[in-house]
Amino acid sequence: MTSSPPGGSAPQARAARSGVAYTVGAYLLWGVLPLYFLALTPTGPWEVVAWRVLLSFVFCLILLTVMRGWSALRAIIRQPRLLGWTALAGVLIYVNWQVFVIGTLSGHVIETSLGYFINPIFTVVLGVFVLRERITRLQWAAIGIAALAVVVIIVAYGRFPWIALTLTASFGLYGLVKKQIGAAVDAISGLTLESFWLIPIAAVTLIIVAQTDGITFGTVSPLHTALVAFAGIATAVPLLLFAAGTRRIDLSLVGMLQFITPVMQFLVGWALLGEPMPAERWAGFLLVWIAIIVFVTDLLLKKRRGARAAAVPLV
């Protein structure tokens, strides 16, 4: 009878299970985020995102104190290159947040889901053209089908899906920037700095809102005030769960699990909110889902080939 090696399969299995739980938790929270933002009405999208920025920053400061992360943050601040990357990441995530909330509060939740359905495939495109990565024929096929889907939606449905494509581009480029940063910036420090760079934008936004529509925070009801105040936690918690999960499981599994969010958002828009889905739009979404099946099939095949290669004994 052979004994298990130190640090063997049991701890790895526990880490994998917790990694899946953290990642699924993040995707589930992101999936119900449209319902949270809809609960903030009559607060408009610009005010919502401004408070989201400011309260995320406050929540991150609390986390840094509780988790004793100030030394890590100070180390990052001493590196101008990292600060530049976090500023760019902040701008990209601001665009993503703002367009997502505009889409949600203007009755386009289904279109926001389309953006996140396409995002993994757009990430592959960025890998090819920016990082010079080589991809498989199946991945090329998925890219082609997704592009065809966008053309179908534009031509047949008669409207350019700017919300979906802006969400795809902003989050895809955000992921690329985070890849450039790598492990040099931890999740809490990263979100803290990204929120910090956006404080001037949030402040100007609130000034403009105050002079036009009027600030709603603290004026509607105690429940509404509490819900808006929750924006920082609603932003930070899924990001931290996602960071914890991706450290524990393979990226291929992360890639397959990430479709939980757009599926939930699509169901919220279609089944709960009753957004229109004419035949032309179904055709476009069907093509997107075919592209996703091709994409996930490629991930599974690569995972299987990797398992077989690992199982071949070295001579």
How does pLDDT run across 165-217, given as a tens digit for each residue? 999 999 999 988 988 888 788 889 999 999 999 999 999 999 999 999 999 99
- Residue whose pair of structure tokens reads 């996602």 in the numeric block: 242
Q: Could you tell me if residue 312 is inside a domain? A: no
In a domain? residue 5: no
Domain range enclosing 226: 17-304
> What is the share, in percent, of the chain residues with pLDDT greater than 90?
64
Give pLDDT, residue 74.
95
Asked, for residue 227, whether it belongs to a domain, the answer is: yes
pLDDT of residue 312: 58
pLDDT value of position 6: 47
Q: What digits encode the pLDDT tens for the residues 102-124?
A: 999 999 999 999 999 998 889 88
What does the pLDDT average to over 8-31?
86
Per DSSP, the residues of the chain read -PPPPTT-HHHHHHHHHHHHHHHHHHHHHHHTHHHHHHTTTTS-HHHHHHHHHHHHHHHHHHHHHHTT-HHHHHHHHT-HHHHHHHHHHHHHHHHHHHHHHHHHHTT-HHHHHHHHHHHHHHHHHHHHHTS-----HHHHHHHHHHHHHHHHHHHHH-S--HHHHHHHHHHHHHHHHHHHHGGGS-HHHHHHHHHHHTHHHHHHHHHHHHHTT---TTTS-HHHHHHHHTHHHHHHHHHHHHHHHHTTS-HHHHHHHTTHHHHHHHHIIIIIS-----HHHHHHHHHHHHHHHHHHHHHHHHHHHHHHHHHSPP-
Q: What's the confidence (pLDDT) of residue 114?
A: 94
291 lies in a domain? yes
Q: What span, in angstroms and rounded, lies between the C-alpha atoms of 28 and 235?
A: 13
Question: For the chain, what is the mean pLDDT?
Answer: 89
Q: What is the pLDDT of residue 299?
A: 82
Does the residue 250 lie in any domain? yes
The residue ranking higher by pLDDT, 40 or 128, is 40
Rounded Cα distance, 34 and 270, in Å: 12
Residue 3 lies in a domain: no
Please write the tens of the pLDDT for every residue from 52-99.
Answer: 999 999 999 999 999 999 999 999 999 999 999 999 999 999 999 999
| Mean pLDDT value of segment 296-300 | 87
pLDDT of residue 251: 66
pLDDT band, very low/low/confident/very high, at 304 (cuts 50, 70, 90): confident
> Which stretch of 3-7, 109-113, 140-144, 274-278 has the lowest confidence by average pLDDT?
3-7
- Asked whether residue 135 carries a pLDDT value surpassing 60, the answer given is yes
Residue 300 and residue 253: Cα distance in Å, rounded?
9
Tell me whether residue 7 is in a domain: no
Using the predicted structure, report yes or no on whether residue 5 has a pLDDT greater than 70.
Answer: no
Q: Is the pLDDT confidence value at 231 over 70?
A: yes
Overall average pLDDT of the 242-263 stretch? 82
Does a structural domain hold residue 299?
Answer: yes
Q: How many domains does the chain have?
A: 1
